[in-house]
Structure 1
């Protein structure tokens, strides 16, 4: 199974459309659609249902989505190990739609300047949906949740300690609560 096809599937689901996934992957919509079709044929199940310009997960797609995300993280970590790079893991951010163009760009620019090998994934949604994802465990296991004004971050436990120490020193953590 080609990991790039799995990446196309996950990106399409995250974007909600093949066209937007194609933009994010720097591909044509036809190439992303072909990858999805090949993945579906290889697995013997329809993973997404196309409806106009949007896509929705089928039951089979929903069943494999978490495993597909894990597969992508493992493949990224494997590449890092093979190239003798230290894997920083993945920073998963949840943010309001309005923060995508205001709060998030300077945060990501700073992160990439300091940690160019860090993998970052961003989900934008309403705050109620982000909270539902955290409460239902859709964020993954063994991750701590850190909330700032317009960002929600899911971090490995060790990263939370470091982040909270830095925020405390800079006065970004409110110790009154």
Structure 2
């Protein structure tokens, strides 16, 4: 079956006129009519009904319309997949939860702008933890991922772009940490962590391992209240006065309505590194590199906004 026949059927269904469908395709009305007749001959049934200058799909035409659109869409994707330099097509992008609310909105706004070279790029988002997204990318389920740095050396088959880093911070309910205007010293913060109930960032999470290493190196024994892998949930529990927590200082916005004390720890070696990873041999390298540039720009703007506060 000639796909141009299906294309004309879709145009007629959308525009309701042979003349308009012909104009949109750069054809004559006679040529469009001949295509439709040929399609009706192949299917053995009437697909359009004429009423004056307008045309409408018959019941049979309506039944095959969604399938025609699907076939044409798959054809478009096939051609895009052959174009290595194309900024069209679909990218399967995995992003950790704090990246979804922090860097991602700015990236998607720039991507969708009318003047953007990637405005026709379709991005399918997949949430998950760093470990989950990393494994899915290795299994070719995802084209690129925004995650925290892995606690092991990455294989050379991957390309890594560092976006930004998030220092560890101690958070508590308002007045629980900074009772005065003076910044608490590290020793004072350590004493607070030892004394208060501790809401632990999951040790199985890659970022949570940084917290565990900090506690171990500084020989801090905690009174563990609970252990969670969702940073937003930890912040909510801390806001309720249930305990203190050590978490990465992830980008705004945090959950609205929280009234937290937050003290950034000076030890930058425990900062959570946020990376964009993709396979070196990806057939979507052009599109992914473009996305990486948008993420880097969003990260730079984040640093500028923090510096101006």
TM-score (norm 1): 0.52
Higher helix share: 1
In the TM superposition, residue 87 of structure 1 has moved relative to its aligned partner by 3.4
Q: Distance in 2 between matches of 1:25 and 1:48?
A: 18
Q: Secondary structure at the match of 2:75?
A: helix
> CA 1:115/1:5 → structure 2, altered by over 3 Å: closer, same or farther?
farther
Structure with more contact order per residue of length (Cα contacts < 8 Å, sep ≥ 6) = 2
In structure 2, relative to structure 1, the CA distance for the partners of 1:40 and 1:156 (3 Å cut) is: farther
Instruction: String of CA shifts for 1:71-120, please: whole Å, max 9, x gaps.
Output: 1100100111123335335xxxxxxxxxxxxxxxxxxxx63x4237828x
8 Å CA contact 1:87–1:118 kept in 2: the answer is yes
Task: Measure how far apart 1:49 and its partner are.
Answer: 0.5
Query: Are 2:48 and 2:55, in contact at CA under 8 Å, matched by a contact in 1?
Result: yes
Please give the residue correspondences for 1:128-139 in structure 2 after superposition, counting only pairs within 5 Å. none
Task: Return the index of the structure with the highest Cα Rg.
Answer: 2
- What stretches of structure 2 of length at least 5 have no aligned partner? 91-112, 126-297, 299-309
For the 8 Å contact 1:88–1:117, the answer to whether it is kept is no
RMSD over aligned CA atoms reads 2.8
Distance 1:48 1:115, change over 3 A: farther
Give SS of 1:114's match.
coil
Number of aligned positions between the proteins:
105
Deviation digits for residues 20-66 of structure 1, max 9, x if unmatched? 00011111000011111111111111111011111111110011011
Query: Structure 2 vs 1, CA of residues 15 and 156 (structure 1 numbering), >3 Å: closer, same or farther?
Result: farther
> Counterpart of 1:37?
37
Structure 1 residue runs of 5 or longer lacking an equivalent are 90-109, 120-154, 159-168, 170-177
